[in-house]
Each structure stands twice: as structure tokens, then as C-alpha cells.
Chain A
Amino acid sequence: MRIKAQVAMVMHLDKCIGCHTCSVTCKTTWTNRPGTEYMWFNNVETRPGPGYPKRWEDTDRYKGGWKLENGKLKLRAGGPISKLANIFYNPNMAEMEDFYEPWTYDYDNLIHSPKRENLPVARPYSEITGKYMDKPEWGSNWDDDLAGGSEIVPLDPNVEKLQEHIKMEYEKTFMMYLPRICEHCLNPSCVASCPTGALYKRDEDGIVLVDHDACRGWRFCQNGCPYHKVYYNWNTHKAEKCNFCYPRTEAGLPTICSETCVGRIRYIGVVLYDADKVKEAASVEDPQDLYEAQLSCFLDPFDPEIQKKAREAGINDSWLEAAKESPVYKMAMKWKIALPLHPEYRTMPMVWYVPPLSPIMNHITNEEELDTDGYIPAVDQMRIPIEYLASILAADDKEVVRKVLLKLSAMRVYMRGKTVGGIDEFRQSELVKAANTSPEELEEMARLLGVAKYDERYVIPTGRREMDDDLYYKQGTCSLEDLAPQEGVNPRFGMMKVRDNL
């Protein structure tokens, strides 16, 4: 057993209002430099829709993630030998037009235009070529809120799979928001795709990072990631990706996307897992077993035996305490209401999603007489088809999603019962059995999902800096400037070396 700790996130999609505040604060923090204009470490997609980049879920085209070949885990885009053969031209890489050509507007013209008959306008121009673009045709949220309608929605690879053709009639349309960041997978295919080994998973917190000194720009990570969350900087020719705001999480603060989330949909916590189990779990035959296999990698932070072994592995008490309080552990592992995004990619993603409830489509004639058990079939008649959610969150296993929706419905029925009466009836109902839950659990869930405060939503232990070599020297250093050594680097020689006893 090799115990490691992972900082993970849960997003409660019911609460996402699609305001893009997360994307904007992330962008202004991390990707507002030349070469990064098109990078959205965090983006919010309206689903159904093609997503960003266009049709990122089309694994036949971009060949991201893993596949199982004769029981062995292989990169879908090909192993090291075929990668080295394709290193001069990567056929599967997404092009700029799959994202968009970044542009801004000629605002200067609004101010400095000479007096003319017509009002001056701010024409769009490309941030890559500097030339005017007469007509920008796609952007990261071009299809926001189903704009583009019946022309754009069918581009969604999940929609293509649905047996029943999605109705685009006004009364029957559905949509949901899907905020996405890097999944910081347990079995990251971007790391395995990197020829130089510049991408790595941090031992302490599982955050997947790019070593920019080592990155040689071979660009296999970009399409090696099935979520398309590694970007190629056309200016510096290095890979860049979401870093889970590690300077913040190391200080015990939530990521900037979580901090600024208006709907408070995000939860961050620590989970313990057994790194030795990951490969086996990612190699199970049936993609629908991957969800359970992934859950089997996680360890119970309350088990004294696990705690002992974790301490031996260098995980300190503040991390063990945080693991016990972890909202992620509660939602994903204990209550099983959060699901991994596209488990079939076999990357064991660590950003989990609580699927959204949606209005019931059938007309209920006498709502007041709807008894508790009436909610069981109602789950199957929600506006967002279970098939669609299952295609995104459960490798097409509808039963997994159905169970979660039942539990979430049961929670609502129970909490309503507390106010308007009917708790006793609820305790005996089939709904409690079908949802496999108990009033106590539902009460806890309702608290965490509904009213949890900042320090319950974000239980983040600070980075284990006591292992650092020279804290006194490093205080006040800034990795972004050349004034001091980059964080984590202690140069042994050269002009950066300032003290002999480093």
C-alpha cells in the first residue's frame, strides 16, 4: 500500500447559475498573457453543446485518454514508440480553429477617431496576427445558453449517442451548465503522454503540474488529455494547465474559481488513496465498472490502521484531520452523490460532479396528493434525460445517475417534510429504501449542499512546508520575477546562488 493524499473538488451542478465568474477570475489570475489568450483553465459549458474546444469529447478524433487493449492500459493516441515516430507532426492535435482565434477590439479608435459623419466603431482584431477580423465566428462561449440552438446542439458527442432524438421544441429543450477545470486525475494521461517527463503529479497533494524548464513543447499532452485541459502556449511554446491554484491551496485557501463562485457550488477537500491500486482499477474490463473501481482506491480516513500507515508515508496530522472533515470524501465516497466526469477515459478524474435535478416533464394533475413514493418514477421523467447525464458522468450507466437523483429527490422531500409534516410517513416510504439512505444522512447532506459555510466547503490543510530546506531564506521570495530563485529550486551553482549553506 502506497498512501497518498489528493486535494480534490466537487461541483454541485444544481447550484451553478452559469455566470462565468469562475472563468473570469481564473483568466485574470493565470492566463492574461500573450500566448494564453485562448486558454481557459476554467470554463463553463452549456450542455448539450460541443463544449470547449469544439467536440472535446470526440475521442475518435483527438485520441485522448486511455484504452484497454488485451487487458492492458494503453494511451489511445499511441504509446511512446508511435509518439516518437509522430513527433514531427501530431495528427490528433486540436488546431486554433477548434478553440478560436483570440481577438480583442480596437478601442483606441473610439477615442482617437477624427470627426466623421458616422460614429466610430471598435473593430475586432486578432490577438495573434494583429489583423482586423471582419467576423469572429466562434469563441469559448459562443453557444452559451443554447444560443445556436438546433444548429449547434447536435454537435455534442453525447447527443449523438442518445437513442431518442433530442427535441429542440421550445417546451422540451433542456440545458445545464458544466464548469470544467483540470481533473488532476489519479491516472493522468497527459503525464504519460509527455515525452520529456515535464508533467508530473505532486506527491503531497496530487496536483498535476508542468515543469516549464523541462517542457520542450512536444505538445502530446494537449490531445493526450481527454478533457483537453492542457493548452499549448504559441508564444513560449510550452504547455500550460490549471494548477489548482497551488500557491493558494498551499496556504490553505480555496482555488480562485471556488473562492469567487457566486452559486457556491464548489467544495474542496482532501482524500487519501492507495496509489498502488490505481493502475489495476483503471484497467477493469467494463467501462461501467470504472466508477466503483475508482471508489475502491480511496481509503477511510477514520480507520486507525490507515491513519498509522498514512503517518508512516509522511502525511501529517493536519492533513489527516482535514481528510476526516473533507466535503469531497463525504459527497463522493460516503454518500456517493458526486460522480466523476467521463470515467470511461480511465484517467480516474478527481473533480466530481453532483448531477443537477430538473423539472419533471409529465404534467402532475393533483400535485398536493402526490405521495412520497410518487417521486421514484418522477426521477425518470426529469427534463434533463438520465441518458444524457449518464453519458457525461457514468459511462452510460443510467442506474448510477438514477440512484444519485433519487437520493437528491429524497433529500428534498425529507427537508420539505420537516417543515410541512410527513416525516413519519417518509421514514417508512419506499423512496428512502430506493434511495438507500436515512433521514440522518439526508439531514447532513442538506446542510453541506445547502447552508454549509466557507470553512465547511473548503477544508484545505496548508502545504507541508516544514519539509522545506531553508524557510528563512525563502521568505518573501517571488517565483514570478528573476529576483529570487524560482519556488522550490535551490540552485547549487551559478549567479543565482546567494548563500553557501543552501
Chain B
Amino acid sequence: MAGIFWWVIFPYIALTIMILGLLYRFTFRQLTWAAPSTNFLEKKWLRIGSPLFHYGIIFAFIGHVMGMVIPMEFYQGIGISDHLYHIGAMWGGGIAGLMVVVGLVILLIRKITIDPVRIKATFADFFSVLALLFVAGTGTYMSIIYNTTVVAYEYRATIGPWFRSLFVFMPKYELMIGIPWILKIHVASAFAFFATIPFTRLVHIFSFPIRYPARSPQQYRSRDNYRGQHN
């Protein structure tokens, strides 16, 4: 029963909150939708912490796509042995994880010690840093320490298929029941964290300006087609 709650009901609730929250905020509260940079208030710490964290989390995201979204059979099909994959995952995931954790710790210290940054930070700002630190910390612990000292756990056979099954609405929750506790915590906390995204500064993830290189440098708009709305 607990299995159904944690690996069926809970993820769907979390993702629903995330999607509806994002849609609501984008539609009605777009004025609050920004990447709330504190570059203006403090520069020295940000220079190290921010790129370290952000590039780390981009690598980590790519790693999760490789582990969760791409099926195990694909790697076997192109001739990457399980051993080779795990070495790659340990190094790649480990480095990315360390980048995220170290970056977050620097950003957290900055948030606490630099006066203007601390005073202007909201509860949500501290919450998202701490929550991310927890999720990233368990993940990094898994990649580096658990993998090498306990067992190189084959999550591509359990968590991967379960994760994909969520998106076809036939969740194979039974796959998740026997997985190591550290991974259960990592996955569950990650979904809980997803649910908070619409309410924090992290909405900026969804507005990475990927179309910038393709658009013309100068932008003209006229009053009557403000934001492209022709009536």
C-alpha cells in the first residue's frame, strides 16, 4: 500500500501541482516570473558559486536523461557494457553532483553572510537552496560513496522503467519497492521538490532563452500588436 502511495499517488500529485502551478503563474503572475539574480548586489562569491552550480545541474540533468529516460537495452544494443556504463556514471555523475553541491554550499554561505543578499532573500529562496542541497546531496552520495562502497546499484533496471511508466500512465510501482533506501529518499524528495518549483524563484528554469541566437538582433513592436496580439 505504501508502495502505491509513494510511487504512484505521490509522484502524480507532485507533478500535477508543478504543472498547474506553473501554468497559473505564467498566465496570471507573469510579472513575478524572472531569474532573480543578485549579481547586482554581490559579485565575488557569485562568480564561483553560480556557474559551478548551474553547469553542474545541467550535466546532472543530462545524466538523469541518460539513466532514466534512455532504456538499458539501448546501451547494450550499442555495445556499452554495464561495467563501462557505471564507471561513466560514477565519474560523470560524481563530478556533476560535486559541482552542484559545492556550488550550492557557496551560494548558501553567500546568502547567509552577505548582508544585502540575505536581507533581500525570501523564505522561498532559502527553501529552494536547502531543498536542492538535500536532493543533490543524496544523489551525489549515491553516485560517489554508495556506488563504490556498498553496491553499484543497477537503477536502470528498476527506477528507469518505473520513471518511464509514469508517463504512459501505467506506473510499475512494484519495481520501486525493493530499491535501496538512499535511492527511495532521493527520488521521493526530488518529486516533493518538483511540486515547489512554481512557488519559488526556480521558475526561471523554464525560460532559458534558447531561441536567442536565432532571432534578429533588433526588435520592433507596435502599440497595436503588443506582444504579438492581433485583434
Q: How far is the CB of B200 from chain A (nearest CB, A)?
A: 13
Contact with A along B39-65 (1 / 0, CB 8 A): 111110011001101110000000000
CB <8 Å contact, B115 and A219: no
Which of these, A80, A89, A490, contacts B212 with CB under 8 Å? A80
B49's closest neighbor in chain A, by CB? A89
CB <8 Å contact, B116 and A96: yes
Give every chain B residue within 8 A of A188 (Cβ-Cβ). 218
Give complex CA distance A65, B42 in Å.
Answer: 24
Number of B residues near A (Cβ < 8 Å) is: 46
B81 at the interface (CB under 8 A from A): no
CB <8 Å contact, B36 and A217: yes
| Segment among A195-203, A351-359, A422-430 that sits at the interface with chain B | A195-203
Give every chain B residue within 8 A of A222 (Cβ-Cβ). 40
CB <8 Å contact, B219 and A237: no
Q: How far is the CB of B165 from chain A (nearest CB, A)?
A: 34
CB <8 Å contact, B34 and A236: yes
Q: How far is the CB of B40 from chain A (nearest CB, A)?
A: 5
A377 at the interface (CB under 8 A from B): no
Which of these, B35, B41, B220, B224, contacts A218 with CB under 8 Å? B35
Give complex CA distance A263, B40 in Å.
Answer: 35
Mark out the residues of chain B between 160 and 181 whose CB falls within 8 Å of any chain A CB in the assembled complex.
none
Q: How far is the CB of B80 from chain A (nearest CB, A)?
A: 29
CB <8 Å contact, A201 and B219: yes
CB <8 Å contact, A84 and B213: yes
A187 at the interface (CB under 8 A from B): yes
Q: How far is the CB of B24 from chain A (nearest CB, A)?
A: 11
Which of these, B33, B215, B218, B220, contacts A216 with CB under 8 Å? B33
CB <8 Å contact, A201 and B204: no
CB <8 Å contact, A200 and B221: yes
Give complex CA distance A195, B33 in Å.
Answer: 15
Give every chain B residue within 8 A of A152 (Cβ-Cβ). none
Q: How far is the CB of B207 from chain A (nearest CB, A)?
A: 5
A214's closest neighbor in chain B, by CB? B227
A204 at the interface (CB under 8 A from B): yes
B230's closest neighbor in chain A, by CB? A469
Give every chain B residue within 8 A of A215 (Cβ-Cβ). 34
Mark out the residues of chain B between 184 and 231 whose CB falls within 8 Å of any chain A CB in the assembled complex.
204, 207-210, 212-213, 215, 217-224, 226-227, 229, 231
Known: A83-B212, A202-B220, A204-B223. A96 touches B40 (CB 8 A): yes
B37 at the interface (CB under 8 A from A): yes
User: What is the size category of the interface that chain A forms with chain B?
Assistant: 35 or more
| Segment among A127-135, A142-150, A439-447, A449-457 that sits at the interface with chain B | A127-135
CB <8 Å contact, A234 and B38: yes
A492's closest neighbor in chain B, by CB? B229
Which of these, B51, B53, B120, B231, contacts A502 with CB under 8 Å? B231
Which of these, B47, B209, B226, contacts A89 with CB under 8 Å? B47
Give every chain B residue within 8 A of A203 (Cβ-Cβ). 220-223
CB <8 Å contact, B212 and A195: yes
Q: How far is the CB of A71 from chain B (nearest CB, A)?
A: 16
Give complex CA distance A468, B226 in Å.
Answer: 11
Which of these, B34, B42, B229, contacts A238 with CB under 8 Å? B34
Give complex CA distance A87, B28 in Å.
Answer: 26
Which of these, B119, B223, B231, contacts A130 with CB under 8 Å? B119
CB <8 Å contact, A191 and B219: yes
Mark out the residues of chain A between 239 and 274 whose CB falls within 8 Å of any chain B CB in the assembled complex.
none
CB <8 Å contact, A89 and B50: yes
Residue from the set A80, A130, A467 with the largest chain B CB neighbour count within 10 Å: A80
Q: How far is the CB of A8 from chain B (nearest CB, A)?
A: 17
A489 at the interface (CB under 8 A from B): yes
B210's closest neighbor in chain A, by CB? A84
A-B contact pairs, 11 of them (CB 8 A): A84-B210, A95-B40, A194-B219, A213-B227, A216-B33, A216-B34, A218-B37, A234-B41, A237-B36, A489-B226, A489-B229
Closest 4 CB pairs of A and B: A195-B209, A203-B222, A192-B217, A217-B34
